[in-house]
Amino acid sequence: MQKFFGAKPTAARKALLLGAGFVVNPTLTLLSEAGVEVTVACRTLESAKQICEAVRNANPISLDVQDEAALDAEVEKVDVVISLIPYTYHPLVIKSAIRKKVHVVTSSYISPAIAELEKEIQDAGITVMNEIGLDPGIDHLGAIKIIDEVHKASGKILSFKSFCGGLPAPEASANPLGYKFSWSARGMLLALGNTARFYQDGHIKEVPGPELMSVAQPYETEHRGYAFVAYPNRDSTPFREKYQIPEAQTIIRGTLRYAGFPQVIRCIVDMGFLSQDTQDFLQHSSTPLPWKEATAKILNATSSSEQDLIQAIDSKHSFADTDKKDRTAEKKRIIAGLRWIGLFSDDPITPRSTPLDTLCATLEKKMAYEDDERDLVFLQHRFEIEHQDGKRETRTSTLVDYGDPKGYSAMAKLVGIPCGVAVLQVLDGKLSKGLLAPYTPEICDPLRAELEKRGITMKEETVA
């Protein structure tokens, strides 16, 4: 069991931890070391038992959060519920917590469905703490620190850009996408369909999801060993208010990937592989189609020969990228990538009803982490600051962290540990009641201090 120094035993308190994902273990370990009695609930008892194995103060149970009576029965036994299940289920958990007057912590954004519960949360006198993982979470803690310092010195934040990537370490990135999955391939691919909105030079810009990869640009960082590209992610415009930077003319939050990723994804999108439409030929079968035939049907190609498949791709996708590279070389690279995935092969598909889910089944097999491989998290804020005397400064705040093949991945640690720290603060009564997220120094400063004790910190530098 991996140790995170700084946890101190407390009086016996109880928590219900919902989830079976990779971030659960670091959260459980931290709480166990602090003496918190944790009930780990998964849909299957076997999953919960595996998580609890060799962990003190951990009790596995089977629980379906959609069973209101069963959920209420477990919630009323504890002091706090940690919801690390998909965000769509958080409102069910919070409603149960309201009924039983129990606190809640999640690592997810405050969704509209959660926001609608704010008055009920206040009336119940409970704390519902959200957005305390990596992104969102650690990113907020680093941003609020610098924004608060600049404002206290009567300065202005003219521009705020924040990009985060969960990636394989460079030595583990040798595939056409430069990417591996430590979580759902479906979630990653669906995120590519979200429209991006952001402020740029005082104006709101909007990029529809299908065009997202077309606006990806090389990301210049002082860390010269990385070849990143960056693209905007979802809606950044609310952060002008959330971060209290009305003076900022540019506000962009986005995602980092390795160079080459956008071009391959653009081709996959144009081929129709992000479709969620159910197809008869992708249904479960004792004799599933070979990939080349499934690809031919998705493309409406004249045959399943590689030549005809490539011709069909040519009719749907332009291989000339934004950097004006040689079209032939770029096409060769992307086609080689599709071949590597297996889309032109005789290998049988794993049918999952839709093009998206059937592709995900293959990607999750071909692009999984090997036992000896590690992941990388790179998070960087870039501030353009105008000081009271008119002088300007470019300041960065950066987190670089690698996973441990014999322990936790960087992503698991950097989501799970902040969540666990927030749970301890809730149990210690250090957070106020109500619907919360880390957007103020009063919330952020103590959380950041606790994470620094555990070796999780963002490094600040003036670069211009």
Would you list the DSSP string of 367-401?
TBPPTT--EEEEEEEEEEEE-TTS-EEEEEEEEEE
At 323, the pLDDT band (50, 70, 90 cuts) reads: low
Q: Give the residue-averaged pLDDT of 187-211.
A: 92
CA distance 361 to 450: 39
Show which residues are catalytic: 135
CA distance 219 to 373: 25
C-alpha distances in angstroms, 15 versus 21, 106, 170, 227, 279?
A: 17, 13, 38, 42, 43
Contact present, 215 and 207 (Cβ < 8 Å):
yes
At 322, the pLDDT band (50, 70, 90 cuts) reads: very low
Residue 35's region, left for phi above 0, alpha for psi from -120 to 50, else beta, is left
Both tokens of 309, joined, read 């498949």
CA distance 74 to 99: 12
At 8, the pLDDT band (50, 70, 90 cuts) reads: very low
At 325, the pLDDT band (50, 70, 90 cuts) reads: low
The whole-number pLDDT of residue 6 equals: 43
At 7, the pLDDT band (50, 70, 90 cuts) reads: very low
What does the H/E/C string look like for 197-239? EEEECCEEEEECHHHHHHHCEEECCCCCCCCEEEEECCECCCH
The whole-number pLDDT of residue 190 equals: 85
Q: Give the residue-averaged pLDDT of 427-451.
A: 97
Task: Kindly report the average pLDDT of the chain as a whole number.
Answer: 93
Which is nearest to 351 in space by CA: 300, 285, 396?
285
Q: Give the residue-averaged pLDDT of 334-343.
A: 96
pLDDT above 80 for 237: yes
The whole-number pLDDT of residue 327 equals: 75
Rg of the chain in Å (alpha carbons): 23
Q: Which residue has the higher pLDDT, 182 or 172?
A: 172
Q: Is 345 exposed, middle or buried (0-12, 13-18, 19+ CB in 10 A)?
A: middle
Q: Which residue has the higher pLDDT, 184 or 346?
A: 346
In the block, tokens 């209101």 appear at 68
The whole-number pLDDT of residue 161 equals: 98
pLDDT above 70 for 5: no
The whole-number pLDDT of residue 188 equals: 84
Strands 156-168 and 375-386: antiparallel
C-alpha distances in angstroms, 74 versus 38, 97, 240, 380, 396?
A: 11, 10, 39, 40, 44
The whole-number pLDDT of residue 321 equals: 53
CA distance 299 to 297: 5
**Lowest mean pLDDT segment, chosen from 116-130, 172-186, 245-259:** 172-186
What's 89's DSSP letter? G
